[in-house]
A and B are shown apart, each in its own frame.
Chain A
Amino acid sequence: MISKMVFLPAVAALALMLVPRSQSVVLKTIALAAALLTLMLSLPLLGVLPGGMEQESVSWIAGPLEAAYHVRVDGLSLFFVLLTTLVSVPAVWAAFTYADATRLRGYLALLLLFEWTLLGLFTAGNLLLFYIYWDLMLIPVFLALVGYSGTAQARRAGMLYLIYNLFGGLVLLAGVIGIVVNAGTFEVLGHSYTLDPAAARWLFAAFALAFLIKTPAFPFHAWMPPTYTYLPPSMVALVSGVQSKAGLYGLLVFAIPLFRYQADPVSPAIQAAQYFAPAMLVIAVVSIVYGALTAIAQTNAKTLVGYSSLSHLGFVLLALFAFGFSSISASILMIVSHGVIVAALFLLLGFVEERTGTNDLGAFGGLAAGAPRLAALMLIVAMAALGLPGLSGFAGEFLILIGAWQTQPVYTAIALIAVVLAAVYALRLLQGAMHGPLRAPDDSKAGRSALDPIVLDGNTPPFDIKPRELALLAPLVAIIFFLGIWPAWLNDRVPIQTDIDAQAAVHDRA
């Protein structure tokens, strides 16, 4: 069941290759149907809540490296899986208007392959599968940047993205093999083993470095601005909405448990996660403040959202390493909400780009005049990003700040600055893009000639949001409202720290 869901997008991607390039309707239908079907297959997994687990295991490799093909979904990974399947549908749908119609097939295939690797990562039940998908995940994004983003800058960004992330990947591989040599198996979840204290620190550092690069967190974010800027919007919605959570997932499910819950309560491995906590908290707080400040200074809407994302994910790091009582459920809430918000934002910016030909805030503006409904959607999503109460962004941030305050008041106090800064950049984005006189560098795309006042009559191409665009965004916006109004729905279903402690303790006795 889990495997079917994971491999469905990959199979669909291969199926696309059998369809002639010119059959764009067939291509689009297959791709969207695959994304929808994957979503359908992922919904029954809600049954694992609360506290349950579903898994499949087939023996795969024995001998010197013992590993099973082991996939699992539990109360934590479920939310990552759902986020992936949920964001993939609008992402694939939004890709229908991919600029080069002759290359649509390859692009859709890359999107679906990307979804496959993400799902594989979040359902991996052992370190081997986790690592395999961790690396494979890079390839679709790299190829999209090199072959499907058009400009020479995008191709350079592809190399930068790849080198940064494969660097992290190989460091992670060293960490993984380090654990496996000590534990004797790749099936480390829920097993206890002993680690030399110095080794534990090195291995945790290797894991953490890889995860921080992927998130990204300051100072490992150099690959992020160009990647987010040059990728096509539908791909960037998946990268920022889902892939950026892969590092946090790794910390949450692998790194922190592996180095925290050990047979011996005073084991040095506990200290490995604890030992690096101050450093991780500093990285978190610097990411939060630096991301927010840099976002304010951006002139490109996509980089602005990228840096805001750096800031928001810093909050999750803060929660994880404050080791507070509610930190895990608050992190999950923040992760899901940020994933939905940022995906919606990038998709909206994609719509804007289709209309104006640019995302440069200096080159266009005042879209509200011609596209009031688009502006209204942008308002909702931007407000969610800045943390307006009643929308999902607020709930996650608030719970994280409350939780972290109890254990780490100083770091939390500094992080609070970013809440104010968030208002500045979110409003700047909204104001720059939507308000004021309508400006666009390519007026033909904006549906008017250069000097004419805006008259949306039958002769101009429709400028406001189209039904397809509205339909694909609607679920994301609905979730933003839902989690904003009723965060407890999610919060009550995430296993809390003590549950996981208890679970680990059971494993330890076994």
Chain B
Amino acid sequence: MTIQGVSIDFTVLGPIIALGTAGLLVLLADLAGKKTPRGLLYGIGVAGCAVAFALLWQLFGRTATTMNGVFAVDRFSWGFSAILVGALAVTLLLSTLRNADDGGSPGSYAALLIFSTIGGLILAGATNLIGLFLGIEQLSLGLYVLAGSGFPREASQEASLKYLLLGSLASGFLIYGSALLYGASGSISIAALAEAAAHLTPLFVIGFALLLVGLAFKLALAPFHLWTPDVYEGSPIAMTGFMTVAVKAAAFAVLARFVYTAFGHDSIALVPLWGLAILSMLVGSFGALGQRNLKRLLAYSSIAQAGFMAAALAGVGQYGLSALLFYVAAYAFMNLGAFAVIALLGDGDEAYADLDAYRALFYRRPWAAVALTLFLFSLAGIPGTAGFFGKVLLLEQSFSAGSWGIALGVSLVIGSIVSIYAYFKVIWQMFAPQEGESPVVAGNSALSWIPIVVGAAGVLLLGVVPQTFVSFVSAAP
């Protein structure tokens, strides 16, 4: 037996290295002065994102593995990594708002955020079970702390604790499942699982079920979603936006890799996943109906949207990955955009979490109202927005995938119908004329207009000329 040295391809790891450097620089800068300006700390982070994105751009279309096959850049990881980096940049920008909660220590806040994102990148590129676990823990550990960074608010502390306790439990499931999968296949590589998956040995089935539970928790798929509304409501606004998008992007990347590598068309082993998806669509959309807090509403919406996204994998079809990536990208634009508007109006704090604050917003702040309307249209799937073509792609994937696919498609339609009311309730408030008490004063920071404008541009671009993006993502090998 020979022991090989680990060969490392630094170009493949480029984005991670860039973000890691930025994270360390943020920590150093924080140490350097007594009170380092927040702008500088977040600025370093955003610069790191720009470099990471540029390095990622170089990797477009490449397929390569490194670290002895632990980490890969390929069609599963590339798009999701880009979304992660984008989500990080947006979150850092939103954190610069005057009242944004960063627990009074912006240095550690920004660094944790960056290190979390690195976890997401590791997860998206993980090709074996160890990498998967490393990534998911790296992603989650930072988030446990960040959920509580709205320190003085009790809700934020509660969110942090809840997320930590339930998240650790889910990690337990995940690692136990990984161990059983290793037992079933004799290898920690995801690619090697295909053979065990073909025979569906009991060990494999149990291992996969436990792994699925762990991932479903991270994705907030029902019935593992119970933490979601409280954690999303309690966390600072910018963090909530980050959690909804970044965690989904990373976890769906690895789920897609798992499904496409280990399972063929119509594998019976995927039935539990479809069950989770259908349940999520229904629970999320019905749950959103009664909410008067916008963060909570979007939390339930994110449960439903996670269910929608899972439908992309229904038939394990040729375009399934494109459909998933399209929808996750659309979701990133529309959801981060919506959170950016909420953060902008409240100047970073919770003033605009409450639905009543949106009354007659269109007549006070027309542009903010129009932007939020656009994002909500997209979430509801109105034509002309990214969400519409996303839904068309998902429905197409579902309906061409046999009887489970039809069940998924029908649930998708039902979920969409139900959630109309939740989204349009907000639009309704914004366009209804003012009655009663004087409105809450709204903030207006130039920096947070950047994510709003980018989000709106993305939503419209994917909604009017989806072709550019569809061919773009299907071009990735």
Using a CB–CB distance below 8 Å, which chain A residues touch chain B? 60-65, 128, 131-133, 135-136, 139, 142-143, 146-147, 155, 158-159, 162-163, 166-167, 170-171, 173-174, 177-178, 180-181
Could you pull out 25 A-B pairs where Cβ atoms are within 8 angstroms?
Answer: A62-B470, A63-B319, A64-B318, A64-B319, A64-B323, A65-B392, A65-B396, A135-B382, A135-B388, A136-B383, A147-B362, A147-B432, A147-B433, A155-B428, A155-B432, A159-B424, A162-B424, A170-B381, A173-B391, A173-B392, A173-B413, A174-B409, A177-B395, A180-B396, A181-B399
Flag if A178 contacts B413 (CB, 8 Å): no
Flag if B470 contacts A61 (CB, 8 Å): yes
Tell yes or no: B91 within 8 A of A by CB. no
Which 10 residue pairs across A and B have the least CB separation, nearest first?
Answer: A132-B383, A64-B319, A147-B431, A177-B395, A181-B399, A174-B413, A181-B400, A146-B431, A61-B467, A135-B383
Complex Cα distance, B396 from A143, in Å, reads: 31
Flag if B396 contacts A181 (CB, 8 Å): yes
The chain B residue sitting closest to A129, CB to CB, is: B383
Q: Which B residues, 372 to 387, have Cβ-Cβ distances below 8 Å to chain A?
A: 377, 380-384
Q: How many inter-chain residue pairs (CB < 8 Å) link A and B?
A: 94
Flag if A177 contacts B409 (CB, 8 Å): yes
In the assembled complex, which residues on chain A have CB atoms less than 8 Å from the CB atom of B432? 146-147, 155
Partner of B467, one of A60, A159, A163: A60
Tell yes or no: B410 within 8 A of A by CB. yes
In the assembled complex, which residues on chain A have CB atoms less than 8 Å from the CB atom of B322? 63-64
Supply 13 further A-B pairs (C-beta < 8 A) apart from A167-B420, A173-B392. Answer: A62-B467, A63-B467, A132-B388, A139-B377, A155-B428, A158-B428, A163-B420, A163-B424, A166-B380, A170-B417, A174-B409, A174-B413, A177-B395
Partner of A159, one of B362, B391, B393, B428: B428
Flag if B421 contacts A62 (CB, 8 Å): no
Tell yes or no: B21 within 8 A of A by CB. no
In the assembled complex, which residues on chain A have CB atoms less than 8 Å from the CB atom of B377? 139
Flag if B399 contacts A178 (CB, 8 Å): yes
Partner of A61, one of B318, B384, B399, B466: B466
Q: Which of B319, B417, B421, B470 has the most CB of A within 10 A?
A: B417
Q: Which B residues, 315 to 332, have Cβ-Cβ distances below 8 Å to chain A?
A: 318-319, 322-323
The chain A residue sitting closest to B466, CB to CB, is: A61
Tell yes or no: B65 within 8 A of A by CB. no
In the assembled complex, which residues on chain A have CB atoms less than 8 Å from the CB atom of B421? 159, 163
Determine chain A's interface SS by DSSP, over half rule.
Answer: helix
Complex Cα distance, B383 from A133, in Å, reads: 8
Q: Whole-angstrom distance from the CB of B467 to the nearest CB of chain A? A: 5
Q: Whole-angstrom distance from the CB of A242 to the nearest CB of chain B? A: 19
Tell yes or no: B471 within 8 A of A by CB. yes
Determine chain B's interface SS by DSSP, over half rule.
Answer: helix
Q: Whole-angstrom distance from the CB of A227 to the nearest CB of chain B? A: 15
Tell yes or no: B416 within 8 A of A by CB. yes
Partner of A64, one of B391, B465, B470: B470
Q: Which of B381, B393, B409, B428 has the most CB of A within 10 A?
A: B428
Flag if A143 contacts B467 (CB, 8 Å): no
In the assembled complex, which residues on chain B have CB atoms less than 8 Å from the CB atom of A135? 382-383, 388
Flag if A171 contacts B392 (CB, 8 Å): no
Q: Which B residues, 443 to 477, have Cβ-Cβ distances below 8 Å to chain A?
A: 465-467, 470-471, 474
Complex Cα distance, B399 from A159, in Å, reads: 30
Contact A131 B383, CB 8 Å, known A63-B471, A146-B431, A170-B416 = yes
Contact A136 B384, CB 8 Å, known A63-B467, A147-B432, A155-B432 = yes
In the assembled complex, which residues on chain B have CB atoms less than 8 Å from the CB atom of A178? 399
Contact A63 B383, CB 8 Å, known A147-B432, A177-B392 = no
In the assembled complex, which residues on chain B have CB atoms less than 8 Å from the CB atom of A171? 413, 417
Complex Cα distance, B323 from A181, in Å, reads: 15
Q: Whole-angstrom distance from the CB of A217 to the nearest CB of chain B? A: 20
Flag if B417 contacts A167 (CB, 8 Å): yes
Flag if B431 contacts A177 (CB, 8 Å): no
Flag if A64 contacts B431 (CB, 8 Å): no
Complex Cα distance, B427 from A142, in Å, reads: 10
In the assembled complex, which residues on chain A have CB atoms less than 8 Å from the CB atom of B381? 170
In the assembled complex, which residues on chain A have CB atoms less than 8 Å from the CB atom of B470? 61-65
Complex Cα distance, B431 from A63, in Å, reads: 38
